Structure 1
């Protein structure tokens, strides 16, 4: 079952249900694309029909952030919880280690994906990783694609930033069994950007913690009021349509 937020269809799964679906996809070798949809990406999709179509083609779309959970509740279709990119992949790593999955880390600045993969494999020795930073030139792409094809990963984690990673994955769905857009998760995995303490996450203020730690994010955060206003407008429109149909 999916909830629609500004035209983007969000899956009504808990994080553990999402992990289970990904595990089953890997075991059955079913090509699966996972979009972690935060308010910024959903807002961008509202202004780019092609991006919206791509996202709605994905097999799994998760509510990445409290803003999306709030929006779904506001629209009368509550979601069980947020499923962020970083939380999802951290929940996948124990499964990947147990089943000895191959994971390709693609994205971030030179050295970051490599450091993130090293820390992950130190904690989960069963995982086999390869990496590639995201600052490659167009002429380098064929070689990178060949490397990924040769590696045959069960998981491709693309940390290229949204919406670049969504467009890239959509064009290369055959490179892995499961492909996931993970934004800036490699920085967190590498220890470069520390996550908020658990108690701050529990009260749903991780966005504020990140903003205080990284003031440069303010430009991105300015989308949030616009996102909220569009959600309110969508809710009012749906209420009006419901009232007309009830007459």
Structure 2
């Protein structure tokens, strides 16, 4: 079931169910495009019809963050839990390890995807991986596409930042069985950025921890109160 949050339809899958859907797509050799939709992306889509159509046409749209979970509940169509990009990929790695899936890490500054892939491989040696940074121009993109196609990934993790990664995945559906936009997850996987302690994650305050650690993000966080107001207005008029 999908729920409507400001015109974006969100799947109500739990993390376990989302992983199962991705596993099924790989085993059945089906294409699956995954969007992890956070409040910023949802809010942006209100004034960007192309982005809204792109998200809604994805095969799996997960609630990325407690803000989306709150919005769905407020609108009377609750989802089971948040399914963020970083949590989703970390839930996929044990399965990928067992099944020896091929995962391509694309994104981040030069060296970050490589470091992330190596850190993941230390814990999950069954994963076959490839990587490339996300700082490529149009000419370099030709070689990059050839590299990915040659690698034949089961999963393509794209960390180009939203919404660029969503556009890129939609434009290149032939590259992998499953493509997932993962934002800045590679920084966390590489150990460059620390995630909030588990207790803070459980309290749903990871966004506040990130703001404290990265105060430059405050401009992005100003979207949140506007997102809340729009959700409350949707509640009133529906």
Q: Per the shorter chain, which TM-score range?
A: over 0.9
Q: CA deviation at 1:19?
A: 0.3
User: What does residue 101 of structure 1 align with?
Assistant: 101
User: What does residue 29 of structure 1 align with?
Assistant: 29
User: What does residue 120 of structure 1 align with?
Assistant: 120
Aligned residue for 2:106, secondary structure, equals strand
User: What does residue 162 of structure 2 align with?
Assistant: 162
What residue ranges of structure 1 are gaps of 5+ in the alignment? Answer: 239-247
The structure that is helix-richer by fraction is: 1
- CA RMSD, 1 decimal: 0.5
Distance 1:108 1:46 in 2: 27
User: What does residue 237 of structure 1 align with?
Assistant: 237
Aligned residue for 2:46, secondary structure, equals helix
Matched, 1:219 2:219: yes
Distance 1:207 1:158 in 2: 21
Aligned residue for 1:42, secondary structure, equals helix
Distance 2:52 2:178 in 1: 20
Distance 1:212 1:35 in 2: 26
User: What does residue 39 of structure 1 align with?
Assistant: 39
User: What does residue 77 of structure 1 align with?
Assistant: 77
- TM-score under structure 1 normalisation? 0.96
Aligned length: 238
Q: How does 1:185-224 map to 2 (within 5 A)?
A: 185-224=185-224
Aligned residue for 2:193, secondary structure, equals coil
Distance 2:158 2:46 in 1: 22
- TM-score under structure 2 normalisation? 0.99
Q: How does 1:167-186 map to 2 (within 5 A)?
A: 167-186=167-186
